[in-house]
Amino acid sequence: MEARLNLFGSGIGPALFKYVNSAGKVVSDSSLPHATQELVKIRASQINGCGFCTDMHTKDATAAGETAQRLNLVATWREATVFTEAERAALELAEEGTRIADAAGGVSDEVWRNAAKHYDDEQLAALIGLIAIINAYNRINVINRQPAGDYQPGMFG
C-alpha cells in the first residue's frame, strides 16, 4: 500500500502539520497524564480505522513503558480491569467525541460529568483538544491511505 499523496512534498502539508503539531504540544505539555493521552489517541485511531496512528501511538506508548496487556485491551476497555476509573472516563469521552455523528446529542451529559469527576478544567480542556487533534490526524491519514507499520518512536521529533 502506498499513500495517495506525499503530504510533505507540497507547500501546504508541512505548514498544516506545523500548526497541528503546535496544538498537540500544548496538550502534551499539559497536566493530563501522558499514559491517558496515549490511550485516548489509540482508541480514537482504532475507531477511525487509522492504521498509521494506531501503529504510531501503540509504539510510542510501549516506548514510554506501557504494558502490552493494557495496549491489547484498549479496544475492549469496558470489559478490562486494567484501566483506572479516570482512564475509563477519558476513553469513554474519546469514544463519544470521536463518534459525534453517531450520537444525536453529541457527547452525553453523563459522560461529561464522569470525566469531570476525574479531571480538572485544564485537563478537560486538554482532553477536548486531544480528541479533536487525533481525529484530525486520523482523517488526514485515512483519506491519504497512509501506510502503517514503519513508524519508529521519536522519528518525528
Interval 113-143: pLDDT, tens: 999 999 999 999 999 999 999 999 999 999 9
Report how far residue 73's alpha carbon sits from residue 81's, in angstroms, rounded to the nearest whole number. Answer: 9
Dihedral sign for Cα 32, 38, 44, 45, please.
positive
Contact 53, 151 (CB under 8 A): no
Nearest partner of 90 among 54, 44, 40, 46, judged by Cα: 40
Grid cell digits, residue 113? 460529568
pTM: 0.95
pLDDT at 102: 82
* Tens digit of each residue's pLDDT (9 = 90 or more) over 42-64: 999 999 999 999 999 999 999 99
Determine what percent of the chain is predicted with pLDDT higher than 90: 89
Determine what percent of the chain is predicted with pLDDT higher than 70: 99
Report how far residue 104's alpha carbon sits from residue 107's, in angstroms, rounded to the nearest whole number. Answer: 9
Dihedral sign for Cα 157, 25, 146, 4, please.
negative
- Domains of the chain with bracketed CATH: 32-144 (1.20.1290.10)
pLDDT at 1: 78
* Tens digit of each residue's pLDDT (9 = 90 or more) over 85-107: 999 999 999 999 999 988 767 89
Q: Map grid coordinates 469496558 to a residue.
A: 78
| Residues 6+ away with beta carbon under 8 Å from 1 | 145, 147
Between the CA of residue 55 and those of 62, 63, 117, 138, 152, what are the distances in Å?
Answer: 11, 12, 31, 12, 9
Nearest partner of 12 among 148, 152, 140, judged by Cα: 140
Grid cell digits, residue 116? 469531570
